[in-house]
Amino acid sequence: MYWNSKHSDQNNVSMGRRITPKEEPTEKRASKKLRLPSFDFKKFGTLVAVLVILGGAITLGYFYQSQNVIRSVEVIGNYFTETSEVITKGNIPLNVSPDSVRFLSALTSIETLPYIREASIRVGQTGRVAISVTEREPIGMFINGSRKAYIDADGVVLPIRHGRAADVPLVYGISWSARQDTVSSRAFIQIRDFLTEVQRMPLASATLSEIAWTTDEGIVALSHENGIRLVFGNDRFSDSIRNWDLFYKQVVTTRGPENFTSIDLRYNGQIVTRES
């Protein structure tokens, strides 16, 4: 039954239509789906590329930084000079950038060593520093009383090093003081010029053992074999040495060195001999 205000009189009851109230439509709940954020592969690829490049740059920079330092120092070309002497004089520090080292100053210091004529420095990509030296070459072992020293063609007095020998003749008649580091006397100039010519002729160099300078006869030498006394004079050394070379080949080797006591080579076109 359905009651309303028109039927408020109880005596006037009338039947009415039964009204079935409409049911309220039930609200369908939409199913909640998980919404994932969209993924941009292009941006991701760009980010990865940037990270790879950045990592490579950092690695390369670290590698370059680690390689661009001095890690070792070596010496090349030395014989009379100890390696430790060169390294100490150069004073090149390790584990520092080559840009912070004064290499010119190091070279100047190295070249103060008695045997070093000149030096150069090369820096390798692996941090290796190579010091290349050119040493002075003795022309003879000069003997002055109890003192002995090698001397080169420039007259530089070179100390004798234990275990480091040069195959050069003994030289007498040249004096120098204990504090003197170079020799430049007239007698030395003659000895130097003579020895320079001797070095150009292998046979003469091999047959002469001792050389001396005298005021009367100039350059006088002794042969290796039987100590033949050879007089070369004060000049024309190339001619006198050449004459000795020919005389040794043609006469001495045939007759034997024991048959000669002295040979005078000072004269042009003439050799004066004294036989035993």
Confidence at 15, pLDDT banded by 50, 70, 90: very low
* pTM higher than the cut 0.75: no
pLDDT of residue 18: 53
Rounded to whole angstroms, how far apart are CA atoms 209 and 190? Answer: 17
Rounded to whole angstroms, how far apart are CA atoms 156 and 26? Answer: 119
Task: Name the fold adopted by 72-135.
Answer: Ubiquitin-like (UB roll) (3.10.20)
CATH architecture of 138-275: 3-Layer(aba) Sandwich (3.40)
Q: What share of the chain is helix, strand, coil (3-state, %, to 5)?
A: 35, 25, 40
Predicted confidence (pLDDT) per residue in 168-217, tens digit: 999 999 988 888 899 999 999 999 999 999 989 888 889 999 999 999 99
Residue at token pair 């109880």: 10
Rounded to whole angstroms, how far apart are CA atoms 55 and 70? Answer: 26
Rounded to whole angstroms, how far apart are CA atoms 30 and 187? Answer: 122
Q: What is the DSSP string of 85-135?
A: HHHHHH-PPSSS-GGGS-HHHHHHHHTTSTTEEEEEEEE-TTSEEEEEEEE
- Using an 8 Å Cβ cutoff, are 248 and 256 in contact? no
pLDDT of residue 38: 58
- Using an 8 Å Cβ cutoff, are 95 and 69 in contact? yes
| Alpha helix segments (H runs only) across 111-216 | 186-199, 202-207
Residue at token pair 């941009």: 40
**Every domain of the chain and the residues it spans:** 72-135, 138-275
Least confident piece of the model among 28-37, 109-118, 123-132, 150-159 = 28-37
Rounded to whole angstroms, how far apart are CA atoms 123 and 189? Answer: 40
Is the model's pLDDT at 69 over the cut of 70?
Answer: yes
Is the model's pLDDT at 13 over the cut of 80?
Answer: no
Rounded to whole angstroms, how far apart are CA atoms 251 and 204? Answer: 15
